[in-house]
Structure 1
Amino acid sequence: MKLQHVDIHNAITALSCALDLVGVDEVRHGKRVAIMANSIARHLNWPELECLSSLYAGMLHDCGVSRIHEHRRLTETLEWVGAEDHCIRGADYLSACPPLAHLSAEIRYHHTRWEKLLESPVDHRVRLRANLLYLADRIDMLQVPFLNSDRILTEYPAIIAQIKTLSGVLFAPELVDAFAEIADVEAFWLAMEPEYLDEDLRNIGSHIPATLLDIPALKELAWLFSRVVDAKSPYTDEHSQRVAQIARQLAMDFGIKGYELEQVEIAGLLHDIGKLRVSEDIIDKPGSLTQNERSTMHRHSYDTFRILQRVFNDSKIPVWAGFHHETLIGDGYPFKNDNKELDLECRIIAVADIFQALAQDRPYRHTMSLEYIINDLQSRVASGHLDAKVVAKLAENAELYYRLAMA
């Protein structure tokens, strides 16, 4: 079985960038939580693996959040009703992804009070790691109003004082004490500025060797983030997974096999990862989009391309996923590439995406019949937007593809 060198550190950092898109107005929350949690863990002389676990859990701790309205609540108050919902979702996502399953328990409890955690049947080290995430997460909520301004230098003592009042209640006393010791200097807070944050993450990653992952592990990572993307709206539930199944079957019908076939499926799973940036108000809008809303929607494929370049830098996956809204006559987006620049795999994913979207209920229309969908695809062939051979191949076995789209 073919293995791929994957820089897990860069992969998790890139996936954190995808989660950052949910914030829209306030990004890098996951990275700040990661750096703060890692700093506190190192100050407490935790084992190296636990320090790295805190770093990666920090970057992924909000993987259960894909809706912008829910993300905004994360930066408004220390506690709120329903905070545990995204913890449970995130833990479920991670537990189903073996390369990252070891992070699921601490994600599950990262909004649980320390006093309640002490009563839970959870391993003590898991308690501490989960509570460390909670602590770093809430510290970031308190510093957000002062980010990227010198006001943080006058406000941070009040943040430390407020956290200290919650010792033994929300947070473990030993974690609060460690935070208070390392945060009582300006450097701790100035390191949260974007350029320094990214530089520090790169420096940490430079000492971590690349990991070999097999194809099933790569697909599990892709599956994890397809679930996060598709959870943005009830109208896009399982869209990415079904597009991936349709694209895989089409690729097989064209004789594509082996590693290339697996990459087609992964690209299908991840083709909409950039949509995390798009508000659910736009995705769920029952009427036509305004010009500004359409512009926001159009950028998602570019964000997909750039994020996937960081994870799969020696693969065609970023191209095949990021070009799924390009057309053969060059009037698509985001690059306006034409047929000379579109691999067969790009054309396959473009057809699979439209086919599945038309077969799925959307806020502005009901699911379309198979006959309607085939006619629609053929009209797009006639206008020069879709590949005639790919649409013809799908039409040969249309009932099978319709079942894949609807299953």
Structure 2
Amino acid sequence: MDHQDIDLHSAVTALSCSLDLVGVDEVRHGKRVAMMAYQIADQLHWPEAERYSILHAGMLHDCGVAQIREHRNLTETLEWSEAEAHAKRGAEYLAARPPLAHLAAEIRYHHTRWEQLQPLPLHARTKIRANLLFLADRIDVLQVPFLNSEHILTAAPDIVERISSLSGSLFAPELIEAFAQIAQSQAFWLAMDPDYLDEDLRGLGKHIAPVSLNFLAQRELARLFSRVVDAKSPYTEQHSERVSLVARQLAKDFDITGQDLEQVEIAGLLHDIGKLRVSEDIIDKPGKLTADERACMQRHSYDTYRILQRVFADTRIPVWAGFHHENLRGEGYPFKTQGSEQDLECRIISVADVFQALAQTRPYRNSMSLNDILADLDRRVANNELDGTVVDKLKINAEAYYRLAKD
């Protein structure tokens, strides 16, 4: 992976899809915000590059939201007093990721009133783009009860009236004027239908050229995904980063090098991306999970696999990440593969995931000592859950791996 052409539009769409999982019941919020912002920008005759850029900003505007309860507060009221916290987090995540750092400032202020933006020492472009995201975001909150139904057409005038009443206070007058003009078209509202929305986004993506990213840039993009996942719970802080470090070192100890080694590291970072669908109430539950809660937890590895196929379709990353809960006897999930069907890299990430999780404090137990972890791994090897050759390799430098998992 010295340099690889990455379809950044597909990567942003995939992250938007994973962020959709936070809503569980109400999905595609990011995509609708993106498409409405794009259409309003088009109405204002913004240059093509600016329109595509605001499209991506719209899909990522809520990347600081990882908890379902926070998502509900943001989507159940026009203004929420604590909305700025996720805007700050999202901006921090993006600022550290070179492929998307240019979107950080507008996402930082996408819940700031227009009248409050004016005195801030920001570039005029940042102000208007941030406010466009805020406008599209709040339009979506008002239209959600009527989505996927012709009732949106009868509700639309009231939505326009309410939004227009906030011109000059919450929203820039020029944005309100453009919105009011384009909202007269039934097509503006009907295009929010899920099938049409996905089709339109794919169509726009065909006009956006791939970007060439080196491994470091790809890894930073992966870290953005993993940071959003790990933020769901204080108990999973840095889990993905630590799994990635352990998996990479194990792969090196097996003499895996070059592109395969880099893909192991990225797969480790992304192995839990599907967990965004899982409620933090389940992740943080101190007691035994119910059958329904276990089912919710078990689907995350399949969601991981499908999401990563959209970004890394020509690599083994989706398989290596998505198979991390398979076991050697074919009783894991979600594919029920036998050990002979699993790449060594899959088995490495499985061991790294278990090892790091046991070293980390969780709501149902404290961090385990190294000796207790090794005993647990031996038990899993005896039960034909984990690969004994991988566990044996880890034991050779067990203390160093323990530091990687905890420090």
TM norm structure 1 = 0.99
Describe how 1:166-177 pairs up with structure 2 within 5 A.
166-177=166-177
2:23 counterpart SS class: coil
The number of residues matched between the two structures is 407
| Residue 75 of structure 1: how far off its partner (Å) | 1.1
Rounded Cα–Cα distance in structure 2 between residues aligned with 1:240 and 1:393: 21
Rounded Cα–Cα distance in structure 2 between residues aligned with 1:164 and 1:62: 24
Task: Name 2:179's counterpart in structure 1.
Answer: 179
Rounded Cα–Cα distance in structure 2 between residues aligned with 1:80 and 1:40: 24
Once the two structures are aligned, what percentage of the paired residues are identical? 69
Describe how 1:232-381 pairs up with structure 2 within 5 A.
232-381=232-381
For the pair 1:24 / 2:2, whether they are aligned, the reply is no
| Residue 340 of structure 1: how far off its partner (Å) | 1.8
Rounded Cα–Cα distance in structure 2 between residues aligned with 1:64 and 1:98: 17
Task: Name 2:215's counterpart in structure 1.
Answer: 215
Rounded Cα–Cα distance in structure 2 between residues aligned with 1:82 and 1:156: 28
| Residue 216 of structure 1: how far off its partner (Å) | 0.5
Rounded Cα–Cα distance in structure 2 between residues aligned with 1:15 and 1:324: 20
Describe how 1:93-132 pairs up with structure 2 within 5 A.
93-132=93-132
Give the letter for the 2:236 counterpart.
T
Task: Name 2:43's counterpart in structure 1.
Answer: 43
| Residue 3 of structure 1: how far off its partner (Å) | 1.3
| Residue 259 of structure 1: how far off its partner (Å) | 1.2
Task: Name 1:4's counterpart in structure 2.
Answer: 4
Q: Tell me which stretches of 4 or more aligned residues in structure 1 moved more than 6 Å.
A: none
| Residue 225 of structure 1: how far off its partner (Å) | 1.1
Task: Name 2:227's counterpart in structure 1.
Answer: 227
Give the letter for the 1:154 counterpart.
T
Q: What do residues 190-247 of structure 1 show as CA deviations (whole Å, max 9, x unaligned)?
A: 0000000000001101112222111001000001111100000000000000000000
Describe how 1:10-89 pairs up with structure 2 within 5 A.
10-89=10-89
1:212 counterpart SS class: strand
Rounded Cα–Cα distance in structure 1 between residues aligned with 2:98 and 2:241: 18
Q: What do residues 132-160 of structure 1 show as CA deviations (whole Å, max 9, x unaligned)?
A: 00000000000011111121110000000
| Residue 121 of structure 1: how far off its partner (Å) | 0.6
Rounded Cα–Cα distance in structure 2 between residues aligned with 1:34 and 1:193: 14
Give the letter for the 1:172 counterpart.
A
Rounded Cα–Cα distance in structure 1 between residues aligned with 2:195 and 2:174: 30
Rounded Cα–Cα distance in structure 2 between residues aligned with 1:53 and 1:120: 22
1:86 counterpart SS class: helix
Q: Which runs of 5+ in 1 are unaligned?
A: none
Rounded Cα–Cα distance in structure 1 between residues aligned with 2:131 and 2:210: 29
2:392 counterpart SS class: helix
Task: Name 1:135's counterpart in structure 2.
Answer: 135
Q: What do residues 8-52 of structure 1 show as CA deviations (whole Å, max 9, x unaligned)?
A: 111111110000000001000000000000000011011222111
Q: Which runs of 5+ in 2 are unaligned?
A: none
- When the two chains are superposed, the root-mean-square deviation of aligned CA atoms in Å is 0.7
Give the letter for the 2:41 counterpart.
A
1:21 counterpart SS class: helix
Give the letter for the 2:14 counterpart.
A
Task: Name 2:388's counterpart in structure 1.
Answer: 388
Give the letter for the 1:258 counterpart.
G
Give the letter for the 1:137 counterpart.
D
Task: Name 1:165's counterpart in structure 2.
Answer: 165
| Residue 354 of structure 1: how far off its partner (Å) | 0.3
| Residue 369 of structure 1: how far off its partner (Å) | 0.8
1:91 counterpart SS class: helix
Between stretches 62-71 and 149-158, larger displacement belongs to 149-158
Q: What do residues 269-307 of structure 1 show as CA deviations (whole Å, max 9, x unaligned)?
A: 000000000000000001000000000000000000000
1:81 counterpart SS class: coil
1:5 counterpart SS class: strand
Give the letter for the 2:46 counterpart.
W
Q: What do residues 298-337 of structure 1 show as CA deviations (whole Å, max 9, x unaligned)?
A: 0000000000000001000000000000011100000001
Between stretches 96-105 and 337-346, larger displacement belongs to 337-346
Rounded Cα–Cα distance in structure 1 between residues aligned with 2:47 and 2:199: 23
| Residue 186 of structure 1: how far off its partner (Å) | 1.1
